[in-house]
Chains A and B, each alone.
Chain A
Amino acid sequence: DGGITQSPKYLFRKEGQNVTLSCEQNLNHDAMYWYRQDPGQGLRLIYYSQIVNDFQKGDIAEGYSVSREKKESFPLTVTSAQKNPTAFYLCASSTSRDINQPQHFGDGTRLSIL
């Protein structure tokens, strides 16, 4: 079955450490997204990519970085510059050809500070 795989499910970060969250999709979708979810705040867009080798900042990109070297993969790095990284991170994808199509989500990665 096609879908989005996020790993790991749980991740712990030490002070001053960068960590990378993995997101892989086999839906052949062009667009991919990273969201941060905090209680009571809904989903906030970190970065998105409409095509390989191109990505744009979302609403809360500071302290995060991404790459899009392959269509299937869109890893997110949480850098030490992100002072409050504890959150639930969701990766999503959609076909960019049909704007009325919904986004498909992975099951998330929960990041905590040690």
Chain B
Amino acid sequence: AQSVTQLGSHVSVSEGALVLLRCNYSSSVPPYLFWYVQYPNQGLQLLLKYTSAATLVKGINGFEAEFKKSETSFHLTKPSAHMSDAAEYFCAVSETGGFKTIFGAGTRLFVKA
């Protein structure tokens, strides 16, 4: 069965520091992987998606993620955090041939001035 594990329910960084949000997945077939961002009292917005075309995926707002099959990981990074990056981030996986997407529990990012 598919599953997604996000390591760390809360991550705190200083403004200008590297952002690293961790995601590991479990899937029996090549997965489609996504990162979404959620601001307070809003729905989720797509940051980026992996669909096997390239292992390093660039998204919006300066975020990128690298697919590592050997580690079953899809960690999200941003070189320099901005105050506006404070939000909750969700990693998600969907399998080929299925219409369901499994979401991780989310990681809340705090950015300190």
Binding site for B on A (CB under 8 A): 4, 6, 31, 35, 40-43, 45, 48, 50, 58, 90, 92, 94, 96, 99-100, 102-108, 110
20 residue pairs A–B, Cβ–Cβ below 8 Å = A4-B43, A35-B103, A40-B105, A42-B90, A42-B104, A42-B106, A43-B44, A50-B99, A58-B100, A92-B43, A99-B32, A99-B94, A100-B94, A102-B46, A103-B101, A104-B46, A105-B45, A106-B43, A107-B42, A107-B43
B39 to chain A: closest residue by CB: A107
Cα distance, A42 to B96, chains bound together (Å): 22
Cα distance, A25 to B45, chains bound together (Å): 16
If A42-B90, A102-B34 touch, whether A108 touches B43 (CB-CB below 8 Å) is: yes
Binding site for A on B (CB under 8 A): 9, 32, 34, 36, 41-46, 49, 51, 90, 94, 96-101, 103-106
Chief secondary structure at chain B's binding surface = loop
Are A41 and B105 closer than 8 Å at their CB atoms? yes
Are B43 and A99 closer than 8 Å at their CB atoms? no
Cα distance, A104 to B36, chains bound together (Å): 10
Best-buried of A58, A104, A110 by chain B (most CB within 10 Å): A104
Shortest CB–CB separation between residue B40 and chain A, in angstroms? 10
